[in-house]
């Protein structure tokens, strides 16, 4: 049996990505022509409501696609993962959503919610002035979001404000050792007026009644970022297993695969990654089954999703570090594939959604106590 057309197109995209990932690192962003390829594959309609032409995808299915992209290039996987972030916009008024999707369901969202910047209330909405960081994917965005403080109506949660990209200045200051191609530049607003109906509470109650919008939005975004690390770690292990048998040491020592410590270390890393990955997808599938059956994700299920996402990000970083430590002097050279992967692997675990505090918060919920961090679901 032949492969379906969608599978072929996805594989062709990955082949092009493998050829161009160096270009994206040099640019420091994924260019619009490649984002258009991701768009054509439907990755930016997976969280668009069905009523507006979207094709919502079970989270685990989307996450597996992001993982495959990330195994070729972590930066592109990170930018593609923002297809999940349209779930945030389910809290927008329906009329605003209808206008947002009037041109079609494929919408690329980017922006910087933090640090939240003060906004001056106006008769119709807000006047924005400020500078926001980490606007990943902003160079090819259809709509941008920036963060302003919450108020009495938001229960302390920040408010996101949608702005057309042409009304913001992009400051290309992304100079990092990991995820170099995400284009996570700063964005600046100068006296930008925005109507209130183009704002939403991040993690607020959605006005859309579809299964995906009963899946916790902040948790889904955390998962979509964590799974990038899984792709990066997979690439490191694939590299180790592929090259291990072919290179002898400069001292005349046996090829890596002939050394017991290398074989055992790579095998242990393989088992460690697969174990963390299995927990991650198990938690996602269990929660999706609950909402697909018409129910809700319980606090306990959400805690397992947040815990498994944070754990996966940490384990993936450890796996890549282990591969590098076992690989000898070849891996210390600038431009070596493992050096790129090492830098990329560091980034997801540093995200606020995936940091060490998530272990404490999840543990608290599993023991029947409130989460110890804000925005846990």
**On the CB side of 240, how many CA atoms lie within 13 Å of its CA?**
31
pLDDT band at 52 (very low <50, low <70, confident <90, very high): very high
Q: What is the DSSP string of 56-74?
A: ---HHHHHHHHHHHHHH-H
Q: 319 CB contacts (<8 Å, ≥6 apart)?
A: 233, 236, 237, 269, 272, 273, 345
pLDDT at 246: 58
Of 10 and 245, the structure prediction assigns the larger pLDDT to 10
User: Among 32-41, 106-115, 297-306, which is the least confidently predicted range?
Assistant: 106-115
Check pLDDT > 60 for residue 90: yes
Summarised one tens digit per residue, pLDDT across range 106-157 is 999 999 988 999 899 999 999 999 999 999 999 999 999 999 998 777 777 8
Structure tokens at 11: 């594989």
Structural domains in the chain?
5-100 (1.10.540.10), 109-201 (2.40.110.10), 215-366 (1.20.140.10)
Is the preceding omega at residue 259 within 30 degrees of 0, hence cis? no
pLDDT at 113: 86
Summarised one tens digit per residue, pLDDT across range 236-262 is 999 999 987 655 555 556 888 999 999
pLDDT band at 2 (very low <50, low <70, confident <90, very high): very low
pLDDT at 340: 96
pLDDT at 249: 53
CB distance 35 to 140 below 8 Å: yes
CB distance 143 to 41 below 8 Å: no
d(CA 221, CA 200): 16
d(CA 313, CA 201): 27
Q: At what angle do helices 337-346 and 217-243 cross, to 10 degrees?
A: 160
d(CA 96, CA 68): 33
Q: Which residues of 257-275 are buried (b: 16+ CB within 10 A; e: fewer)?
A: eebeebeebbeebbebbee
Check pLDDT > 90 for residue 174: yes
CB distance 38 to 82 below 8 Å: no
């Amino acid at each position: 049996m032949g492969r379906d057309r969608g599978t072929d197109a996805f594989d062709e995209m990955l082949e092009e990505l493998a050829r161009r990932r160096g270009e994206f690192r040099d640019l420091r962003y994924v260019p619009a022509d490649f984002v258009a390829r991701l768009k054509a594959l439907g990755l930016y309609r997976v969280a668009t409501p069905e009523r507006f032409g979207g094709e919502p995808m079970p989270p685990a299915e989307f996450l597996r696609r992001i993982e495959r992209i990330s195994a070729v290039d972590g930066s592109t996987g990170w930018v593609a993962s923002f297809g999940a972030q349209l779930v945030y916009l389910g809290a927008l008024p329906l009329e605003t959503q209808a206008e947002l999707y009037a041109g079609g369901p494929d919408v690329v969202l980017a922006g910087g919610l933090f640090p939240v910047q003060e906004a001056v209330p106006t008769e119709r909405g807000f006047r924005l002035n400020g500078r926001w960081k980490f606007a990943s994917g902003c160079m090819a965005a259809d709509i941008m979001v920036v963060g302003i403080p919450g108020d009495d109506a938001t229960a302390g949660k920040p408010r996101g404000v949608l702005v057309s990209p042409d009304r913001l200045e992009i400051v290309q200051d992304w100079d990092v050792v990991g995820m170099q191609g995400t284009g996570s530049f700063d964005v600046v607003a100068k006296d930008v007026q925005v109507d209130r109906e183009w704002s939403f509470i991040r993690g607020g109650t959605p006005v859309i009644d579809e299964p995906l919008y009963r899946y916790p939005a902040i948790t889904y975004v955390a998962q979509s970022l964590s799974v990038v690390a899984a792709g990066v770690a997979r690439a490191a292990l694939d590299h180790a297993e592929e090259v291990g048998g072919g290179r002898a040491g400069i001292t005349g020592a046996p090829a890596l695969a002939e050394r017991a410590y290398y074989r055992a270390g790579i095998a242990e890393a393989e088992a460690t990654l697969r174990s963390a990955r299995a927990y991650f997808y198990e938690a996602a599938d269990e929660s999706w089954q609950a909402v697909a059956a018409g129910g809700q994700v319980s606090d306990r299920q959400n805690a397992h999703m947040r815990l498994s996402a944070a754990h996966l990000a940490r384990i993936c970083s450890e796996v890549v570090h282990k591969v590098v430590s076992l690989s000898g002097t070849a891996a210390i050279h600038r431009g070596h594939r493992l050096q790129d992967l090492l830098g990329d692997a560091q980034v997801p675990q540093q995200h606020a959604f995936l940091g060490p505090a998530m272990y404490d918060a999840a543990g608290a919920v599993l023991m029947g106590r409130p989460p110890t961090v804000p925005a846990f679901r």
